[in-house]
Amino acid sequence: MKRLSILFFSCLLAAGLQAQGYYTKYYADKALKNTAQEWLKSGQWRNGFSKADPHETVNAVEFYLQYQKNPSQWQAMFEWLEKTDLLALPKGRIPIPGTTMVASVEDDTNRDLDRQRPESHYHHIDFQYVVKGTERFGIIDHYTSKSNTAYKPDVINYDYDKSKTRFYDSTPSEFFLFFPDDWHIAKVKTDGDDQNIRVIVIKVDYR
């Protein structure tokens, strides 16, 4: 009877979690989660960067762990972002000094959701920072999504349930980080009149 009860409650828990959806990598270690949240709030990662804060969707544990594995890369990126006039940069690919990273400066327009493809990456983290305008991102649920393309070269696309998708607007006051478990849709049309944006996209190594 005890085993049946445990199995029953486990099934209920699994069903409850699936109903809530799965949108980013889950960590059960409470101490690690607390450490990561305190580290994020402390701003130790900033290296002088004061232009924007992490969006609420940023996975604090993933950010914390990845930063510890490659601090010089993150430090160089945030220093470059702080010291560079991001609005004055020419459109295109701009190397970040002292690193192998390249910033993609994109002047673009948000589009209807049906025109945009969800994606994720295995070997890179998407740092996305809108420095002009408002961009809408969608984050899709893993349980109700499935890949519809081959993985190539570091991107894979998905079929997804729109009703399970979470949407967030990005402005110059916040940046987004999409880790491999953050399956996302970029440049979705917002409710505003002006759909023109400038966004800085940087591929950070995932280790």
7 domain residue, yes or no = no
For 127, the token pair is: 């740092």
Higher pLDDT, 5 or 162: 162
Q: Identify the pLDDT of residue 55.
A: 98
Q: Identify the pLDDT of residue 20.
A: 86
Closest among 155, 162, 167 to 126, alpha carbons compared: 155
**Count of domains in the chain?**
1
pTM score over 0.95: no
76 domain residue, yes or no = yes
Higher pLDDT, 12 or 114: 114
Q: Identify the pLDDT of residue 174.
A: 98
Q: What is the pLDDT of residues 55-80, one digit of tens each?
A: 999 999 999 999 999 999 999 999 99
1 domain residue, yes or no = no
For residue 200, the enclosing domain spans 30-205
192 domain residue, yes or no = yes
pLDDT bucket at 3, cuts 50 / 70 / 90:
low
11 domain residue, yes or no = no
For 81, the token pair is: 């972002």
Q: What is the pLDDT of residues 148-193, one digit of tens each?
A: 999 999 999 999 999 999 999 999 999 999 999 999 999 999 999 9
111 domain residue, yes or no = yes
162 domain residue, yes or no = yes
Classify 189 in phi/psi space as left (phi over 0), alpha (psi -120 to 50) or beta: beta
Angstrom distance (rounded) from CA 120 to CA 137: 13
Question: Any idea what the CATH number is for the domain that residue 131 is in?
Answer: 2.60.120.370
Q: What is the pLDDT of residues 9-36, one digit of tens each?
A: 333 334 444 568 999 999 999 999 999 9
Q: Could you check whether the bond before residue 172 is cis, i.e. omega within 30 degrees of 0?
A: no
9 domain residue, yes or no = no
Q: Phi and psi (nearest 5°) for 161? A: -95, 110
